[in-house]
Structure 1
Amino acid sequence: MVDEQKTTLNDVKNEWFLNYSSNSSNIAKIFKIEYKKYVKSPTSYDGEKFDFGTLLNNCKGMQPQLIPYSALTEIIFKNDMTIQSIQDKEIGESNFAVIIENRFEQYLVKEYGIEQQPRSGNEEQVPFDAIEKELYQDKIEENKNEIIISYKIFEHLKLAISQKEGLYEKQTTEIKDLTNSIEQTKEKYENMTSNYISILGIFAAILMTAFGGIQSFTSIYQNNSFPLDDSLLIACIGFIGIILLIFLLMNSIAKLTGKKLDSKTSNKWYVRHPTLINSLILLSTIIGVIIIWKIINNPENVNLFYILFLLPLVYFIVMSVWFNKEKKKWYFLWLW
């Protein structure tokens, strides 16, 4: 029987480059130190002291799928910049990954780059940043796997920071909405007591108006010495006053409670309140009939100067038409 080849799990992990625990911890530690420096002073951080040599050594032999993504994500989410830096759109945490990546490429050029021969005095001197630096291909390919893993780490950092910024913006919006809601609720609660007192006072005024009006009419007609037409005239004028006063008080309650008395939707107050306007029309019609009746039955007492009493009516009609124009931003008796 042929002996089967035996091995241990540790040997398998070493052979397959799966023993990455210590390397992962070292990589996470490197980025944790640098990221803390960045969030502490994002405007002055330049990544100049980043140890890329140690980073590449710890990436040696590591499979790309075994990069410590969770540890790197935890570093990004657990370390925050100050509120002022976060709110500054020109800073941003994503700059960290960009700075590190740029410094890494400068490191590669420095380590694997071919020294440029000095140009002759007649040739135009080109700045270093403006030329494409040549690299030793064989030399850089020896560390191909480590460099690929480093770039994958940079891309993951960009992704984690992007997710963090998106989550921050979403939470900021939700917090603002919640704060506004709390402030509105607090304002309503603070005004609730005063509104209740106002509503009770207005209800008391309505009751006093209604019962006071009834009591007034009772007093007037208790020893009635007026003719029927005068009695009806006084009653109609009194009812108009009571109706208007009650309506104004009810409108005040509606404003305090955030409700509306409107029966219909319209820009014109008399369309929105048909009950009120119909009551006024009915009572004013009765008043007009009584006045005409008195003029017909007492022609000898009619004087041309009585026409002056029509001026207030004309004034009322003109002002009502003017303030109820569609192009106006406010309307006659806007409280209604």
Structure 2
Amino acid sequence: MGKAPEDSTVLAEGLPELDPLLKVARSLCSVQNGQTIVEVCSASEEDVVIQKGTALAAATVVPKTAFLPTQQAYRNESGTRGVDSVISSAARESDSPREAMPGLKEAYRAEMEADFTDSKLGGDQQELLHSLLGDFRDTFVESSLKPGRTDLLKFSIDTGTQPPIKQRPYRVSNAEGDVMEAEIDQYLDLGLVRPSTSPWASPVLMIRKPDGGIRFCIDYRRLNAVTIKDCYPMPLIDDILDVLRGAKLYSTMDIASGYWNVPMDPDSVEKTAFTCKYGLFEWLVMPFGLCNAVPAFERLMENVLVDLKWRTCLVYLDDCVVFSSDFPTHLVRLRQVLERFRNAGFKLK
């Protein structure tokens, strides 16, 4: 673990240069005897041997002060938070949350724009593709903070007979508090969260990134520990590569803020509650950090494309690839997939 102090907590994140068949779960890990344990997933059916000394993940030490409870009184939830404006850019990727939040642009323009500058398609093909995209202009958005809303799934959290788990908020610095407040205001304005009176409470954790930015996270570890796990399988990379053999044309699509397209089950909303110096809030859409979010979203996407996957397209969480061997077939398949996403209530980037 290099210079990570004993008994410290680190945020482990997979390295970009890692073998594409291997994925490291982003997680909070404890350091013991100079070592920690990270979960590594292989997308191959073959045995994978990881040699000793192989770099798998980068670890960012989380200061112990981040886990200290704050004594500051909760902010009056009926106070200054307005809902008359919509804010755009996520502060989690900015050092200055206010500068990173200009007014949100229109979800889509009256005329669908497409950039064919580097395209190898002929003029007629470009016109046909542009016309097809124009038919689905209502399905595309310019901002990831304008997700759709599906009625095909309400995400639930099964904790059996476990009584509510209540944790105190962690302490944050002034700079971290500014980012936290901006992030929560943004979620409130977008209708993603609401003030809560839940008996459950998971603390917000503000983590410094290597570039100096601040990431807004929720420490759902104790909630995840008592959640009954969903074992729905993820697609294998080897199977995906087999299907793509012989294809000549590919179109990739990305669901805008994929998880936020999924509403929470009313009976589970209270379990998503997160606590911080500004109060207690709960999610109305599926948040990041819950252990069953990945399998639930993969199952949803595969159900939406149930008779098209493996034949017309491939799907991995919020990413979809449409493939074909010729242009006319590709247009037909694109229309099929776009119609499914529109009917499901999804929005695409």
Task: Kindly indicate which of the two structures has a greater share of residues assigned to helix.
Answer: 1
Q: Decide: shared fold, TM above 0.5.
A: no
TM-score range, shorter chain: under 0.3
TM-score by length of structure 2 reads: 0.16
Please say which structure displays the higher CA radius of gyration. Answer: 1
Task: Kindly indicate which of the two structures has a greater share of residues assigned to strand.
Answer: 2
TM-score by length of structure 1 reads: 0.16
User: Which structure's relative contact order is higher, taking Cα pairs within 8 Å and 6+ residues apart?
Assistant: 2
